[in-house]
Chain A
Amino acid sequence: MSELMDLYQEVILDHNKHPRNFGQIEAADHCARGDNPLCGDQLTLYLRMDGDRVAEVRFEGQGCAISTASASILTEVVTGKTLEEVEALFESFHELLTGDPSVVAEVGPELGKLAVFAGVREFPVRVKCATLAWHTLKAAISDGGEAASTE
Protein backbone atom coordinates (compact mmCIF):
# COMPACT_ATOMS: atom_id res chain seq x y z
CA MET A 1 0.00 0.00 0.00
CA SER A 2 2.83 2.41 0.79
CA GLU A 3 4.24 2.02 -2.73
CA LEU A 4 0.78 2.90 -4.06
CA MET A 5 0.74 5.97 -1.81
CA ASP A 6 4.17 6.93 -3.16
CA LEU A 7 2.83 6.57 -6.68
CA TYR A 8 -0.45 8.36 -6.16
CA GLN A 9 0.79 11.32 -4.15
CA GLU A 10 -1.61 14.15 -3.37
CA VAL A 11 0.12 16.45 -5.86
CA ILE A 12 -0.32 13.90 -8.63
CA LEU A 13 -3.97 13.28 -7.79
CA ASP A 14 -4.55 17.03 -7.69
CA HIS A 15 -2.96 17.65 -11.09
CA ASN A 16 -4.96 14.72 -12.46
CA LYS A 17 -8.21 16.20 -11.22
CA HIS A 18 -7.35 19.79 -12.09
CA PRO A 19 -4.81 19.73 -14.90
CA ARG A 20 -3.03 23.07 -15.33
CA ASN A 21 -2.66 24.71 -18.74
CA PHE A 22 -5.25 22.40 -20.22
CA GLY A 23 -6.39 23.39 -23.71
CA GLN A 24 -5.01 24.67 -26.98
CA ILE A 25 -2.80 27.56 -27.97
CA GLU A 26 -4.25 29.16 -31.05
CA ALA A 27 -1.00 30.76 -32.15
CA ALA A 28 1.16 27.74 -31.32
CA ASP A 29 4.58 27.58 -32.94
CA HIS A 30 4.80 23.85 -32.42
CA CYS A 31 2.31 21.10 -31.84
CA ALA A 32 2.58 17.33 -31.54
CA ARG A 33 0.40 14.42 -30.63
CA GLY A 34 1.53 11.63 -28.31
CA ASP A 35 0.07 8.15 -28.00
CA ASN A 36 0.64 5.36 -25.59
CA PRO A 37 -0.81 2.49 -27.63
CA LEU A 38 -0.64 0.09 -24.71
CA CYS A 39 -3.24 1.85 -22.62
CA GLY A 40 -4.79 4.31 -25.03
CA ASP A 41 -3.37 7.50 -23.49
CA GLN A 42 -3.49 10.33 -26.01
CA LEU A 43 -2.42 13.91 -25.68
CA THR A 44 -1.69 16.88 -27.87
CA LEU A 45 0.87 19.42 -26.78
CA TYR A 46 0.96 23.04 -27.97
CA LEU A 47 4.06 25.14 -27.67
CA ARG A 48 4.71 28.84 -28.16
CA MET A 49 8.35 29.96 -28.19
CA ASP A 50 10.00 33.25 -27.42
CA GLY A 51 13.34 32.94 -29.19
CA ASP A 52 15.07 30.01 -27.56
CA ARG A 53 12.78 30.05 -24.54
CA VAL A 54 9.48 28.29 -23.98
CA ALA A 55 6.91 31.04 -23.62
CA GLU A 56 3.82 28.87 -23.16
CA VAL A 57 2.86 25.21 -23.19
CA ARG A 58 -0.65 23.79 -23.09
CA PHE A 59 -1.99 20.31 -23.58
CA GLU A 60 -5.22 18.45 -24.12
CA GLY A 61 -6.19 14.82 -24.36
CA GLN A 62 -7.00 11.99 -22.05
CA GLY A 63 -4.93 9.59 -20.09
CA CYS A 64 -4.32 7.97 -16.76
CA ALA A 65 -3.55 9.96 -13.61
CA ILE A 66 0.18 9.56 -14.08
CA SER A 67 0.26 10.76 -17.69
CA THR A 68 -2.20 13.59 -17.06
CA ALA A 69 -0.36 14.83 -13.96
CA SER A 70 2.95 14.52 -15.75
CA ALA A 71 1.71 16.63 -18.67
CA SER A 72 0.23 19.17 -16.29
CA ILE A 73 3.40 19.51 -14.23
CA LEU A 74 5.48 19.60 -17.40
CA THR A 75 3.63 22.70 -18.57
CA GLU A 76 4.55 24.40 -15.32
CA VAL A 77 8.19 23.42 -15.11
CA VAL A 78 9.30 24.04 -18.69
CA THR A 79 7.74 27.46 -19.11
CA GLY A 80 10.48 30.08 -19.25
CA LYS A 81 13.23 27.55 -19.81
CA THR A 82 15.56 27.39 -22.80
CA LEU A 83 15.42 24.33 -25.02
CA GLU A 84 18.77 23.25 -23.64
CA GLU A 85 17.45 23.47 -20.09
CA VAL A 86 14.34 21.52 -21.07
CA GLU A 87 16.49 18.80 -22.58
CA ALA A 88 18.60 18.57 -19.41
CA LEU A 89 15.48 18.46 -17.25
CA PHE A 90 14.02 15.59 -19.27
CA GLU A 91 17.26 13.69 -18.85
CA SER A 92 17.20 14.14 -15.08
CA PHE A 93 13.54 13.21 -15.00
CA HIS A 94 14.18 10.06 -16.97
CA GLU A 95 17.04 9.23 -14.61
CA LEU A 96 14.65 9.68 -11.68
CA LEU A 97 12.22 7.15 -13.17
CA THR A 98 14.62 4.53 -14.42
CA GLY A 99 18.14 5.22 -13.20
CA ASP A 100 20.28 4.07 -10.31
CA PRO A 101 18.65 5.27 -7.03
CA SER A 102 21.94 6.59 -5.62
CA VAL A 103 22.47 8.77 -8.67
CA VAL A 104 18.87 9.92 -8.43
CA ALA A 105 19.49 11.19 -4.91
CA GLU A 106 22.05 13.56 -6.43
CA VAL A 107 19.92 14.76 -9.33
CA GLY A 108 16.82 14.90 -7.11
CA PRO A 109 16.96 18.47 -5.83
CA GLU A 110 17.13 20.19 -9.19
CA LEU A 111 14.02 18.35 -10.36
CA GLY A 112 11.81 20.43 -8.09
CA LYS A 113 8.17 19.57 -8.61
CA LEU A 114 9.04 16.61 -10.81
CA ALA A 115 10.33 14.74 -7.75
CA VAL A 116 6.74 13.69 -6.95
CA PHE A 117 7.12 11.11 -9.70
CA ALA A 118 9.87 9.25 -7.82
CA GLY A 119 7.31 6.57 -6.85
CA VAL A 120 6.85 5.61 -10.50
CA ARG A 121 10.22 3.83 -10.31
CA GLU A 122 8.55 0.97 -8.42
CA PHE A 123 6.04 0.55 -11.25
CA PRO A 124 8.13 0.01 -14.38
CA VAL A 125 5.13 -0.40 -16.68
CA ARG A 126 4.00 3.09 -15.69
CA VAL A 127 7.24 4.83 -16.71
CA LYS A 128 5.78 5.25 -20.18
CA CYS A 129 2.81 7.08 -18.72
CA ALA A 130 5.06 9.52 -16.89
CA THR A 131 7.25 10.21 -19.91
CA LEU A 132 4.56 10.44 -22.62
CA ALA A 133 4.20 14.23 -22.31
CA TRP A 134 7.98 14.66 -22.40
CA HIS A 135 8.39 12.57 -25.53
CA THR A 136 5.57 14.57 -27.07
CA LEU A 137 7.29 17.81 -26.11
CA LYS A 138 10.47 16.63 -27.82
CA ALA A 139 8.47 15.74 -30.91
CA ALA A 140 6.81 19.15 -30.86
CA ILE A 141 10.14 20.93 -30.59
CA SER A 142 11.71 18.94 -33.40
CA ASP A 143 8.41 19.38 -35.27
CA GLY A 144 8.72 16.28 -37.38
CA GLY A 145 4.96 16.39 -37.57
CA GLU A 146 4.85 12.75 -36.57
CA ALA A 147 2.97 11.63 -33.50
CA ALA A 148 5.19 10.69 -30.58
CA SER A 149 4.69 7.20 -29.31
CA THR A 150 5.89 5.40 -26.24
CA GLU A 151 6.36 2.30 -28.38
Chain B
Amino acid sequence: MPELDEVKQAESASAAEHPFAIEKVRQDFPALSLSVHGKPLVYLDNAASTQKPLSVLDAADRCYREYYSNVHRGVHHLSQKATDAYEEARCKVQGFLGAARSEEIVFVRGATEGINLVASTFGRSRVKAGDEVLITEMEHHSNIVPWQMLCGDVGATLRVAPIDDRGEVILEEYEKLINERTRLVAMVYISNALGTINPVARMIEMAHARDVPVLVDGVQAVPHKAVDVQALNCDFFVFSGHKMFGPTGIGALYGKLDLLTSMPPYQGGGEMIRSVTFAKTDYADPPARFEAGTPNIVGAIAMGAAVDYLQGIGLQAICWYESGLLDYATEVLSAVPGVRLVGTPTHRASVVSFVIDGVHPHDAGTILDREGIAVRAGHHCAQPVMDHFGVPATVRASLALYNTRQEIDRLVSGVAKVKEIFS
Protein backbone atom coordinates (compact mmCIF):
# COMPACT_ATOMS: atom_id res chain seq x y z
CA MET B 1 0.00 0.00 0.00
CA PRO B 2 2.49 2.65 -1.09
CA GLU B 3 -0.23 5.27 -1.31
CA LEU B 4 -1.20 4.89 2.32
CA ASP B 5 2.46 5.10 3.33
CA GLU B 6 2.79 8.30 1.40
CA VAL B 7 -0.26 9.73 3.15
CA LYS B 8 1.19 8.73 6.49
CA GLN B 9 4.52 10.29 5.64
CA ALA B 10 2.83 13.49 4.55
CA GLU B 11 0.83 13.54 7.76
CA SER B 12 3.85 13.06 9.93
CA ALA B 13 5.74 15.70 7.97
CA SER B 14 2.98 18.22 8.59
CA ALA B 15 2.82 17.15 12.23
CA ALA B 16 6.54 17.85 12.50
CA GLU B 17 5.95 21.30 11.09
CA HIS B 18 2.97 22.02 13.31
CA PRO B 19 2.68 19.61 16.20
CA PHE B 20 0.50 22.23 17.89
CA ALA B 21 -1.82 24.94 16.62
CA ILE B 22 0.73 27.67 15.90
CA GLU B 23 -1.83 30.35 15.06
CA LYS B 24 -3.63 29.77 18.32
CA VAL B 25 -0.33 29.89 20.18
CA ARG B 26 0.54 33.21 18.54
CA GLN B 27 -2.78 34.64 19.67
CA ASP B 28 -1.81 33.79 23.23
CA PHE B 29 0.95 36.42 23.04
CA PRO B 30 -0.37 39.99 22.77
CA ALA B 31 3.07 41.40 21.90
CA LEU B 32 3.22 39.33 18.72
CA SER B 33 0.57 41.53 17.09
CA LEU B 34 2.59 44.72 17.63
CA SER B 35 3.81 46.78 14.73
CA VAL B 36 7.35 48.13 14.77
CA HIS B 37 8.29 50.98 12.42
CA GLY B 38 5.02 50.33 10.59
CA LYS B 39 5.73 46.65 9.99
CA PRO B 40 4.39 43.60 11.80
CA LEU B 41 6.84 42.64 14.51
CA VAL B 42 9.07 39.62 13.89
CA TYR B 43 10.43 38.80 17.33
CA LEU B 44 13.63 36.79 17.04
CA ASP B 45 15.34 37.87 20.26
CA ASN B 46 14.01 35.10 22.46
CA ALA B 47 17.37 34.09 23.88
CA ALA B 48 17.52 37.58 25.42
CA SER B 49 13.96 37.45 26.71
CA THR B 50 10.68 35.95 25.58
CA GLN B 51 7.26 37.53 25.20
CA LYS B 52 4.53 36.62 27.69
CA PRO B 53 1.32 34.66 27.10
CA LEU B 54 -2.03 35.91 28.42
CA SER B 55 -2.12 33.16 31.03
CA VAL B 56 1.06 34.53 32.63
CA LEU B 57 -0.20 38.12 32.54
CA ASP B 58 -3.53 36.96 34.00
CA ALA B 59 -1.86 34.98 36.77
CA ALA B 60 0.07 38.04 37.94
CA ASP B 61 -2.95 40.30 37.62
CA ARG B 62 -5.23 37.88 39.47
CA CYS B 63 -2.81 37.53 42.33
CA TYR B 64 -2.59 41.29 42.83
CA ARG B 65 -6.36 41.71 42.54
CA GLU B 66 -7.71 38.69 44.32
CA TYR B 67 -5.38 37.19 46.88
CA TYR B 68 -2.31 39.36 47.33
CA SER B 69 -0.53 39.40 50.66
CA ASN B 70 2.87 38.58 52.07
CA VAL B 71 3.73 34.90 52.33
CA HIS B 72 4.76 32.62 55.21
CA ARG B 73 3.79 35.23 57.79
CA GLY B 74 0.19 36.03 58.51
CA VAL B 75 -2.44 33.77 59.90
CA HIS B 76 -5.01 35.72 57.94
CA HIS B 77 -6.88 34.42 54.95
CA LEU B 78 -5.05 36.34 52.20
CA SER B 79 -1.64 35.46 53.52
CA GLN B 80 -2.62 31.80 53.56
CA LYS B 81 -3.90 31.99 49.98
CA ALA B 82 -0.80 33.79 48.73
CA THR B 83 1.45 31.33 50.56
CA ASP B 84 -0.41 28.39 49.03
CA ALA B 85 -0.06 29.84 45.53
CA TYR B 86 3.63 30.66 46.07
CA GLU B 87 4.37 27.15 47.32
CA GLU B 88 2.27 25.66 44.53
CA ALA B 89 4.51 27.52 42.08
CA ARG B 90 7.50 25.87 43.74
CA CYS B 91 5.88 22.47 43.20
CA LYS B 92 5.24 23.33 39.55
CA VAL B 93 8.93 24.15 39.08
CA GLN B 94 9.82 20.93 40.88
CA GLY B 95 7.70 18.98 38.40
CA PHE B 96 9.04 21.01 35.49
CA LEU B 97 12.65 20.09 36.35
CA GLY B 98 11.87 16.57 37.51
CA ALA B 99 13.28 17.29 40.98
CA ALA B 100 12.63 14.77 43.73
CA ARG B 101 11.38 17.29 46.29
CA SER B 102 10.01 20.82 46.29
CA GLU B 103 12.53 21.79 49.01
CA GLU B 104 15.19 21.48 46.34
CA ILE B 105 13.76 24.50 44.49
CA VAL B 106 14.99 27.92 45.66
CA PHE B 107 13.39 30.99 44.14
CA VAL B 108 15.95 33.56 43.03
CA ARG B 109 15.93 36.67 40.86
CA GLY B 110 17.18 34.73 37.87
CA ALA B 111 19.93 32.40 36.74
CA THR B 112 22.58 35.03 37.51
CA GLU B 113 21.52 35.20 41.13
CA GLY B 114 21.29 31.40 41.28
CA ILE B 115 24.91 31.09 40.18
CA ASN B 116 26.05 33.83 42.53
CA LEU B 117 24.21 32.11 45.35
CA VAL B 118 26.05 28.86 44.72
CA ALA B 119 29.37 30.69 44.31
CA SER B 120 29.02 32.56 47.58
CA THR B 121 27.65 29.72 49.70
CA PHE B 122 28.80 26.38 48.34
CA GLY B 123 31.79 28.08 46.72
CA ARG B 124 32.98 30.01 49.74
CA SER B 125 32.65 27.05 52.07
CA ARG B 126 34.26 24.46 49.76
CA VAL B 127 36.70 26.21 47.45
CA LYS B 128 40.05 27.00 49.07
CA ALA B 129 43.41 28.37 47.98
CA GLY B 130 44.97 26.11 45.36
CA ASP B 131 41.64 24.57 44.37
CA GLU B 132 40.11 24.82 40.92
CA VAL B 133 36.73 25.60 39.41
CA LEU B 134 36.13 24.38 35.87
CA ILE B 135 33.91 26.08 33.31
CA THR B 136 33.73 25.93 29.50
CA GLU B 137 34.79 28.44 26.89
CA MET B 138 31.19 28.98 25.77
CA GLU B 139 29.81 30.27 29.06
CA HIS B 140 27.68 33.38 29.38
CA HIS B 141 29.39 36.06 31.47
CA SER B 142 27.03 35.14 34.30
CA ASN B 143 28.71 31.74 34.53
CA ILE B 144 32.22 33.18 34.30
CA VAL B 145 32.37 36.28 36.47
CA PRO B 146 30.97 34.84 39.75
CA TRP B 147 33.59 32.06 39.58
CA GLN B 148 36.32 34.51 38.68
CA MET B 149 35.36 36.62 41.70
CA LEU B 150 35.28 33.57 43.96
CA CYS B 151 38.61 32.24 42.71
CA GLY B 152 40.20 35.68 43.03
CA ASP B 153 39.01 36.05 46.60
CA VAL B 154 40.08 32.63 47.90
CA GLY B 155 43.18 32.12 45.76
CA ALA B 156 41.72 29.35 43.61
CA THR B 157 42.19 28.95 39.84
CA LEU B 158 39.51 29.14 37.17
CA ARG B 159 40.04 26.54 34.45
CA VAL B 160 38.35 26.70 31.06
CA ALA B 161 37.51 23.71 28.88
CA PRO B 162 38.13 24.78 25.27
CA ILE B 163 35.68 24.58 22.37
CA ASP B 164 36.42 23.59 18.77
CA ASP B 165 35.65 25.52 15.61
CA ARG B 166 32.17 24.08 15.33
CA GLY B 167 31.41 25.48 18.76
CA GLU B 168 31.45 22.21 20.71
CA VAL B 169 33.29 21.53 23.96
CA ILE B 170 36.32 19.32 23.30
CA LEU B 171 35.38 16.48 25.63
CA GLU B 172 38.85 14.96 25.92
CA GLU B 173 40.24 18.32 27.02
CA TYR B 174 37.34 18.84 29.38
CA GLU B 175 37.88 15.45 30.99
CA LYS B 176 41.62 16.09 31.34
CA LEU B 177 40.92 19.33 33.19
CA ILE B 178 38.97 17.56 35.95
CA ASN B 179 41.44 16.63 38.66
CA GLU B 180 41.79 16.19 42.42
CA ARG B 181 41.89 19.98 42.90
CA THR B 182 38.60 20.57 41.04
CA ARG B 183 35.85 21.56 43.49
CA LEU B 184 33.07 22.35 41.03
CA VAL B 185 32.23 22.24 37.34
CA ALA B 186 29.86 24.93 36.03
CA MET B 187 28.61 24.59 32.46
CA VAL B 188 25.94 25.80 30.15
CA TYR B 189 23.35 23.33 28.84
CA ILE B 190 22.56 25.24 25.64
CA SER B 191 24.84 28.11 24.57
CA ASN B 192 23.04 31.43 24.24
CA ALA B 193 25.55 32.64 21.67
CA LEU B 194 25.86 29.55 19.47
CA GLY B 195 22.91 27.33 20.31
CA THR B 196 25.21 24.37 21.03
CA ILE B 197 23.51 21.67 23.10
CA ASN B 198 26.22 20.32 25.35
CA PRO B 199 26.25 16.60 26.16
CA VAL B 200 25.70 17.56 29.78
CA ALA B 201 24.69 14.09 31.03
CA ARG B 202 28.01 12.70 29.81
CA MET B 203 29.96 15.69 31.09
CA ILE B 204 28.31 15.35 34.50
CA GLU B 205 29.22 11.68 34.58
CA MET B 206 32.85 12.53 33.84
CA ALA B 207 32.89 15.04 36.70
CA HIS B 208 31.15 12.67 39.09
CA ALA B 209 33.68 9.97 38.26
CA ARG B 210 36.10 12.26 40.15
CA ASP B 211 33.54 13.22 42.80
CA VAL B 212 33.18 16.74 41.47
CA PRO B 213 29.72 18.32 41.71
CA VAL B 214 28.27 20.08 38.67
CA LEU B 215 26.19 23.21 38.20
CA VAL B 216 24.20 23.42 34.97
CA ASP B 217 23.12 26.79 33.56
CA GLY B 218 19.85 25.69 31.99
CA VAL B 219 18.50 29.12 31.00
CA GLN B 220 18.39 28.39 27.27
CA ALA B 221 17.30 24.79 27.75
CA VAL B 222 14.02 25.05 29.66
CA PRO B 223 12.00 26.97 27.03
CA HIS B 224 13.02 24.52 24.33
CA LYS B 225 13.31 21.01 25.67
CA ALA B 226 12.21 18.78 28.52
CA VAL B 227 14.65 18.77 31.43
CA ASP B 228 15.00 16.10 34.10
CA VAL B 229 17.56 17.05 36.74
CA GLN B 230 17.45 13.58 38.26
CA ALA B 231 18.16 11.88 34.95
CA LEU B 232 20.97 14.38 34.28
CA ASN B 233 22.12 13.86 37.86
CA CYS B 234 23.36 17.44 38.04
CA ASP B 235 23.96 18.86 41.51
CA PHE B 236 22.74 22.38 40.77
CA PHE B 237 20.60 23.73 37.95
CA VAL B 238 19.57 27.35 37.34
CA PHE B 239 17.14 29.08 35.00
CA SER B 240 15.41 32.44 34.56
CA GLY B 241 11.66 32.94 34.35
CA HIS B 242 11.72 35.73 31.77
CA LYS B 243 13.45 33.54 29.19
CA MET B 244 10.71 30.92 29.40
CA PHE B 245 7.64 33.18 29.00
CA GLY B 246 7.48 34.15 32.67
CA PRO B 247 8.10 37.55 34.25
CA THR B 248 11.41 39.26 34.88
CA GLY B 249 13.02 39.21 38.32
CA ILE B 250 12.27 35.59 39.08
CA GLY B 251 14.06 32.33 38.43
CA ALA B 252 14.94 29.15 40.21
CA LEU B 253 17.92 27.33 41.58
CA TYR B 254 17.66 23.57 41.91
CA GLY B 255 20.11 21.92 44.31
CA LYS B 256 20.29 18.38 45.62
CA LEU B 257 18.84 18.52 49.10
CA ASP B 258 21.90 17.17 50.90
CA LEU B 259 24.04 19.85 49.24
CA LEU B 260 21.59 22.65 50.01
CA THR B 261 21.32 21.44 53.60
CA SER B 262 25.10 21.53 53.99
CA MET B 263 25.41 25.07 52.62
CA PRO B 264 25.59 28.27 54.69
CA PRO B 265 22.96 30.98 54.03
CA TYR B 266 23.24 33.41 51.13
CA GLN B 267 21.72 36.64 52.46
CA GLY B 268 20.57 37.31 56.00
CA GLY B 269 17.16 38.61 56.91
CA GLY B 270 13.63 37.58 57.60
CA GLU B 271 12.23 34.30 56.28
CA MET B 272 15.60 32.47 56.37
CA ILE B 273 15.75 31.97 60.13
CA ARG B 274 14.43 29.56 62.69
CA SER B 275 15.13 31.73 65.71
CA VAL B 276 17.05 34.94 66.30
CA THR B 277 18.66 36.33 69.44
CA PHE B 278 21.48 38.85 69.59
CA ALA B 279 23.77 36.02 70.62
CA LYS B 280 22.92 33.58 67.87
CA THR B 281 20.67 32.87 64.91
CA ASP B 282 19.52 29.42 63.87
CA TYR B 283 18.94 29.19 60.17
CA ALA B 284 15.92 27.66 58.54
CA ASP B 285 16.15 24.56 56.39
CA PRO B 286 16.28 24.87 52.59
CA PRO B 287 14.71 26.41 50.63
CA ALA B 288 13.78 29.13 53.16
CA ARG B 289 17.43 29.40 54.25
CA PHE B 290 18.22 30.91 50.84
CA GLU B 291 15.17 33.14 50.49
CA ALA B 292 15.85 36.01 52.87
CA GLY B 293 13.33 38.83 52.80
CA THR B 294 9.96 39.02 51.11
CA PRO B 295 10.34 37.05 47.89
CA ASN B 296 9.06 37.92 44.43
CA ILE B 297 5.68 36.40 45.26
CA VAL B 298 3.80 37.43 42.16
CA GLY B 299 6.78 36.64 39.96
CA ALA B 300 6.97 33.10 41.28
CA ILE B 301 3.24 32.56 40.82
CA ALA B 302 3.33 33.94 37.26
CA MET B 303 6.39 31.82 36.48
CA GLY B 304 4.34 28.84 37.65
CA ALA B 305 1.75 29.85 35.05
CA ALA B 306 4.52 29.89 32.42
CA VAL B 307 5.44 26.33 33.44
CA ASP B 308 1.77 25.36 33.00
CA TYR B 309 1.74 27.03 29.60
CA LEU B 310 4.82 25.15 28.37
CA GLN B 311 3.57 21.85 29.73
CA GLY B 312 0.14 22.47 28.21
CA ILE B 313 1.69 22.57 24.76
CA GLY B 314 4.23 19.91 25.64
CA LEU B 315 8.00 20.27 25.65
CA GLN B 316 8.30 17.34 23.26
CA ALA B 317 6.07 19.06 20.69
CA ILE B 318 7.90 22.37 21.19
CA CYS B 319 11.29 20.73 20.74
CA TRP B 320 10.09 18.97 17.59
CA TYR B 321 8.59 22.10 16.07
CA GLU B 322 11.54 24.35 16.88
CA SER B 323 14.03 21.88 15.55
CA GLY B 324 12.25 21.96 12.15
CA LEU B 325 12.19 25.73 12.27
CA LEU B 326 15.87 25.93 13.17
CA ASP B 327 16.80 23.60 10.30
CA TYR B 328 14.82 25.82 7.96
CA ALA B 329 16.47 29.01 9.28
CA THR B 330 19.91 27.44 9.00
CA GLU B 331 19.24 26.31 5.44
CA VAL B 332 17.86 29.58 4.10
CA LEU B 333 20.35 31.82 5.88
CA SER B 334 23.38 29.78 4.82
CA ALA B 335 22.11 30.01 1.25
CA VAL B 336 22.45 33.82 1.32
CA PRO B 337 25.79 34.79 -0.28
CA GLY B 338 28.04 36.63 2.16
CA VAL B 339 26.33 35.20 5.23
CA ARG B 340 28.48 33.04 7.48
CA LEU B 341 27.05 31.07 10.40
CA VAL B 342 29.07 31.28 13.60
CA GLY B 343 28.97 27.95 15.39
CA THR B 344 27.95 24.84 13.51
CA PRO B 345 27.65 22.21 16.23
CA THR B 346 25.98 18.88 15.50
CA HIS B 347 23.38 19.42 18.21
CA ARG B 348 21.95 22.90 18.25
CA ALA B 349 18.82 24.53 19.57
CA SER B 350 16.95 27.75 18.89
CA VAL B 351 19.88 30.00 17.96
CA VAL B 352 21.32 31.05 14.61
CA SER B 353 24.32 33.30 15.06
CA PHE B 354 25.75 34.80 11.89
CA VAL B 355 27.86 37.53 10.35
CA ILE B 356 27.40 39.28 7.01
CA ASP B 357 30.50 40.06 4.92
CA GLY B 358 31.53 43.69 5.24
CA VAL B 359 28.71 44.60 7.61
CA HIS B 360 29.08 45.06 11.34
CA PRO B 361 26.31 43.20 13.22
CA HIS B 362 25.28 46.42 14.91
CA ASP B 363 24.47 48.03 11.56
CA ALA B 364 22.61 44.91 10.47
CA GLY B 365 20.61 45.06 13.71
CA THR B 366 19.57 48.67 13.06
CA ILE B 367 18.47 47.96 9.49
CA LEU B 368 16.59 44.79 10.50
CA ASP B 369 14.88 46.77 13.25
CA ARG B 370 13.53 49.20 10.65
CA GLU B 371 12.06 46.15 8.93
CA GLY B 372 10.24 45.27 12.14
CA ILE B 373 12.64 42.43 12.92
CA ALA B 374 14.03 42.18 16.45
CA VAL B 375 17.36 40.38 16.64
CA ARG B 376 20.31 40.74 18.96
CA ALA B 377 23.47 42.25 17.56
CA GLY B 378 26.43 42.09 19.86
CA HIS B 379 28.60 39.73 21.83
CA HIS B 380 25.63 38.17 23.67
CA CYS B 381 27.42 38.45 27.02
CA ALA B 382 29.81 35.80 25.76
CA GLN B 383 32.90 37.75 24.72
CA PRO B 384 35.22 34.72 25.01
CA VAL B 385 33.05 32.92 22.43
CA MET B 386 33.34 35.90 20.07
CA ASP B 387 37.12 35.92 20.63
CA HIS B 388 37.26 32.22 19.78
CA PHE B 389 35.60 32.82 16.43
CA GLY B 390 37.58 36.02 15.83
CA VAL B 391 34.50 38.21 15.46
CA PRO B 392 33.64 41.25 17.59
CA ALA B 393 29.97 40.43 17.53
CA THR B 394 27.33 38.47 15.64
CA VAL B 395 23.74 38.90 14.57
CA ARG B 396 21.71 36.42 16.55
CA ALA B 397 18.26 35.24 15.61
CA SER B 398 16.87 33.18 18.47
CA LEU B 399 13.65 31.25 18.10
CA ALA B 400 10.77 30.39 20.35
CA LEU B 401 7.72 28.17 20.01
CA TYR B 402 5.68 31.01 18.46
CA ASN B 403 7.99 31.78 15.53
CA THR B 404 7.15 30.70 12.00
CA ARG B 405 8.81 30.01 8.67
CA GLN B 406 7.21 33.17 7.28
CA GLU B 407 9.11 35.13 9.94
CA ILE B 408 12.36 33.45 8.93
CA ASP B 409 11.59 34.48 5.35
CA ARG B 410 11.14 38.07 6.55
CA LEU B 411 14.55 37.83 8.24
CA VAL B 412 16.13 36.65 5.00
CA SER B 413 14.53 39.57 3.11
CA GLY B 414 15.82 41.88 5.83
CA VAL B 415 19.34 40.52 5.39
CA ALA B 416 19.00 41.20 1.65
CA LYS B 417 18.15 44.83 2.49
CA VAL B 418 21.21 45.07 4.76
CA LYS B 419 23.39 43.86 1.91
CA GLU B 420 21.76 46.30 -0.49
CA ILE B 421 22.53 49.30 1.74
CA PHE B 422 26.09 48.16 2.31
CA SER B 423 26.71 47.01 -1.26
Given contact pairs A8-B363, A64-B362, A39 touches B377 in the complex (Cβ within 8 A): yes
28 inter-chain pairs at a CB distance below 8 angstroms, sorted by A residue, are A1-B370, A3-B370, A4-B366, A4-B367, A4-B421, A7-B366, A8-B422, A13-B421, A13-B422, A17-B358, A38-B378, A39-B361, A39-B379, A40-B378, A40-B379, A40-B383, A40-B392, A63-B392, A64-B362, A64-B363, A65-B359, A65-B360, A66-B362, A68-B360, A123-B366, A126-B362, A126-B366, A129-B362
Residues 1-16 of A, flagged 1 when their CB comes within 8 A of B and 0 if not, give: 1011101100001000
Are the CB atoms of B370 and A66 closer together than 8 Å? no
Quote the shortest CB–CB distance from B7 to chain A (angstroms): 46
In angstroms, Cα B363 to Cα A80, docked, is 31
Q: Does B238 contact A (CB under 8 A)?
A: no
B393 engages A39 (CB within 8 Å): yes
Interface size class of A (residues with CB under 8 A): 20 to 34
Shortest C-beta distance, B254 to chain A (Å), equals 31
- B interface list, Cβ under 8 A from A: 358-363, 366-367, 370, 377-379, 383, 386, 392-393, 421-422
Q: Which residue of A lies closest to B378 (CB)?
A: A39
Complex contact B421–A8 (CB within 8 A)? yes
**Are B360 and A63 in contact (CB-based, < 8 A)?**
yes
Provide the A36-73 mask, 1 if CB < 8 A to any CB of B, else 0. 00111110000000000000000000111110100000
A111 CA to B278 CA, complexed, in Å: 67
Please give the residue numbers on chain A whose beta carbons come within 8 Å of chain B beta carbons, in ascending order: 1, 3-5, 7-8, 13, 17, 38-42, 62-66, 68, 123, 125-126, 129
Interface centre among B363, B367, B379, B422 (most CB of A within 10 A): B363
**9 extra interface residue pairs, beta carbon distance < 8 Å, beyond A8-B421, A39-B361:** A5-B421, A8-B363, A8-B422, A40-B378, A62-B392, A64-B360, A64-B362, A66-B363, A123-B366
CA distance A1 to B420 in the complex (A): 12
Bound Cα distance A64, B391 (Å): 12
- Whether A39 and B362, one on each chain, are in contact in the complex, defined by CB atoms closer than 8 angstroms, is yes
CB distance from A66 to the nearest CB of B (A): 7
In angstroms, Cα B380 to Cα A38, docked, is: 9
Q: How far is the CA of A39 from the CA of B391 in the complex (A)?
A: 12
How far, in angstroms, from A129 to B361 measured CA to CA in the complex? 13
The 8 closest A-B pairs by CB, nearest first: A64-B362, A64-B360, A40-B393, A40-B392, A39-B362, A40-B379, A65-B363, A39-B378
Shortest CB-to-CB span from A4 to chain B, Å, is 5
